[in-house]
Amino acid sequence: MANTEWWQRGPIDGVPALLQPVAHILLQVRESVGELVANLSEAEWNARPANVASSAFHVRHITGVIDRLFTYAREEALSPEQLASIPLEGAHLAISDVAATLGALSARVDAAIDELRKVDISTLAEFRGVGRAQLPSSVIGCLVHGAEHSMRHVGQLSVTSRIVRSVQ
| pTM for this model (two decimals) | 0.95
Q: Which pLDDT band holds residue 80 (cuts at 50, 70, 90)?
A: very high
CB-side neighbour CA atoms (13 Å) of 84: 3
Whether residue 132 is contained in a domain is answered as yes
> pLDDT of 109-125, one tens digit each?
999 999 999 999 999 99
| Domain annotation covers residue 6 | no
Does residue 149 carry a pLDDT above 50?
A: yes
Whether 3 maps to a domain, the answer reads: no
What is the Rg, in whole angstroms, of the alpha carbon atoms belonging to the chain? 16
69 within domain boundaries: yes
Sign of CA dihedral 64, 68, 74, 78: positive
Q: Within a domain: residue 84? A: yes
pLDDT digits 0-9 by tens, 21-76: 999 999 999 999 999 999 999 999 999 999 999 999 999 999 999 999 999 999 99
Domain of 54, CATH number, reads 1.20.120.450
In a domain, 12, yes or no: no
Domain that holds residue 62: 17-167
Helix ranges (DSSP H) in 47-124: 55-73, 80-85, 98-118
Contact 135, 127 (CB under 8 A): no
Total number of domains constituting the chain: 1
